[in-house]
Amino acid sequence: MEAFTIIYTLLGGLGIFFFGMKFMSDGIQAVAGDAIRKIINSLTSNRFLAVGVGLLVTCLVQSSSVTTVMTVGFVNAGLMSLTQAIGVIFGANIGTTITGWIISIQVDKYGLLLVGIGFIPALFSKSDRWQHIGKAILGIGLIFMGLKLMSGAFVPLRESKPFLDSIAYFSGTHYGAYLASIMMGCLLTMIVQSSSAMLGITMAMATSGVIPFTTAICLVLGENIGTTITALLASVGGNVNARRAARAHASFNLFGVFIMMLWLPYFFDLVDWMIPRNPRFVAEDGSFPYVAQHIALAHTLFNVTATLLFIPFINQLAAFVTKLTPDKEVKEKSHLLVLGDPANMLPAASIAQAESELKKMRDIVKRMYKLNREFWEKAEYDPKMLAKIIDYERITDNIHREITVFLCYVMEKPMSHQQSEQVQALIRISDEMESVADYVERLANYRDRFKNDETFSGESREEFFQFFDEVLGFFDLVTHGLYESEEIDMTRIETKSHELQLWADSMREKHLDRISKGSYLPVTALTYSDMVVALRKIRAHSLLMATAISNLNQKFD
């Protein structure tokens, strides 16, 4: 009967711990969603900044697995280079150590208090922000309560001879025991699919006195290896660079643990020296109150040291995993959707990716627009240029379709009000930009009616190109908001839009006047009107896009 009690208490504590981790993670992500989006968008080729991005994002989402899976997805979508991804993974390994420090606090003192503090804003606040903050505090309280239950479940085991005999080998102070503990930590983390949960269990066992301090640290080292299975599984079905990023994560942690193995006894002494309290101190109730802090420090020290050792060799690690995962003979097709399923991504990361894809779409539309101008300026009709413009339009159709489907899946996930508004804004931007591309293509098709250059010359031609350039400038003004996460000046944009509308009406009237004077053939009236209307439609869709971009960059309380 005692065994049954231990099992259900342990499982119940683990369930509360997991539930608390989810509450805390969801609450922090909702509050910091816009910060995560900006952090991801700030990625550069600088390896130190990439490490910083990985560290900050992981601190905010409280899961290195989520960060690494997200990173693999960005590499798969072509939005992040392999060396950038490795830097982010390095940072994620450091960021995940914050969880250890959170749960190393004296859990029996603060669990119920935080649950009591957190549930009030979580349930009764009218502010979304305070609801999410309350949810995060409630989650932390549940984590502490879950750990307390797990620690209590392990207490009887420290007096159980059969159990102690079964783990006696793992508790040894020789390299065989160290290696066995590392392998056990790796295996259990692969099964549980959460290094944070395994870290919590390890701390609970050590605090209860079931395992010694040295065994706990070896289990933590193994958990660092085991957590890489999540990214490896996420890379299945991804492109070659996604698989390289996942294998870089596994290789980095494997190499780091191997190097640490060479001087483990000294590492134990260093951790013991850095924290003055004795990890082997036994309280009156038989618990080891200070060992959790030593485990948290060992976790942090290992990951920081490994990152500092490997950061100068990011390019060499990238070359190693490139050799380990060679290119396929058949060229792979790039896809916009992250591994085909955004369910594994944070809403903030999904929004950042969609923004990056929209920037690509914007660049294609701009190239399409400039090519169209060259097409119209050319004296002779060039069917190859028209074919290229039409091909660009097909590409924008594909991007629009995939972004829309992707974001519709993202909308099914829990997210904050701000994130919901941002997703809707991105869908609207994609719609309007695709419409702009449609009218650019339509404008190119009108060139077929002017195969003889002499039928379109003089003042009407000059006015057309001036208006053409002004509309392109207006498109640039609007889409600049995609690159600057600041609220755009809608008054300026609306004023410019109105000026362009009046200009378009004036152009059509002037052209009709020239026709009445015999300067142009009457047949050109309809075509010229269609050309001006196409540019005016581009102006109108750009204005609607500006409203959506303003909503995307809007600051919420």
Phi/psi zone of residue 209: left (φ > 0), alpha (ψ -120 to 50 degrees), beta? Answer: left
pLDDT of residue 342: 60
Judge whether 485 and 550 are in contact, CB under 8 Å: no
pLDDT of residue 165: 72
pLDDT at residue number 499:
92
Determine the pLDDT at residue 62. 66
**Residue count of the chain:** 557
| Cβ neighbours of residue 496 closer than 8 Å, sequence gap 6 or more | 474, 477
pLDDT tens digits along 472-501: 999 999 998 887 766 678 888 999 999 998
Q: Which of 152, 264, 292, 270 is nearest to 208 (CA)?
A: 152
Reduce the DSSP state of residue 237 to 3 states and report it: coil
pLDDT at 324: 85
Kindly list the distances between the CA atom of residue 257 and the CA atoms of 32, 59, 307, 439, in Å, as whole numbers in the listed order. Answer: 32, 22, 12, 58
Q: Which two tokens stand for residue 254?
A: 């494997």
What residue segments make up the domains of the chain, in order of their start? 2-324, 342-552
Question: Which parts of the chain have pLDDT scores under 50?
Answer: 1, 329-340, 453-454, 557
Neighbours of 409 (CB within 10 A): 15
Quick one: tokens of 355? 């923004």
Give the residue from 34, 109, 39 showing the smallest Cα distance to 67: 39
The pLDDT value given to residue 545: 93
Axis crossing angle, helix 417-446 with helix 347-377, rounded to the nearest 10: 20
Q: What is the pLDDT of residue 330?
A: 38
Residues near 461 by beta carbon (within 8 Å), at least 6 away in sequence: none
List, in order, residues 6 or more apart from 255 with CB less than 8 Å away.
Answer: 306, 310
Rounded CA separation 46/51 (Å): 9
Nearest to 388 by CA among 412, 405, 364: 364
DSSP designation for 382 = -
How many other C-beta atoms can be found within 10 angstroms of the C-beta atom of residue 389? 23
**Structural contact between residues 207 and 42, judged by C-beta atoms closer than 8 angstroms:** no
Report pTM: 0.69
The single residue listed with the structure tokens 């195969």 is: 451
Q: Within 13 Å of residue 121, how many CA atoms lie on the same side as its CB?
A: 17
Look at residues 440, 425, 434 and name the one whose alpha carbon lies nearest to residue 471: 440
Superfamily assignment of 342-552 in CATH? Answer: Phosphate transport system protein phou homolog 2; domain 2 (1.20.58.220)
C-alpha distance from residue 5 to each of 1, 149, 165, 289 (Å): 6, 11, 21, 24
CA-to-CA distance for 40 and 44, rounded, in angstroms? 10
The rounded distance, in Å, linking the Cα atoms of 183 and 4 is: 27
Query: What's residue 335's pLDDT?
Result: 43
Could you tell me the two tokens for 339? Answer: 């591994």
Helix pair 458-479, 524-552: axis angle to 10 deg: 10
Name the maximum alpha-carbon separation found in the chain.
109
Instruction: Measure the CA–CA gap between 164 and 167, rounded to whole angstroms.
Output: 5
**pLDDT value at residue 390:** 92
Q: Tokens 């870089």 map to which residue?
A: 248
Tokens for 204? 């609970």
Per the CB < 8 A criterion, the answer to whether 286 and 209 are in contact is yes
Tokens of 487: 């609220």
Position 433 scores a pLDDT of: 94
Q: Count of CB atoms within 10 A of residue 17's CB?
A: 26
Q: Which amino acid is at 129?
A: R
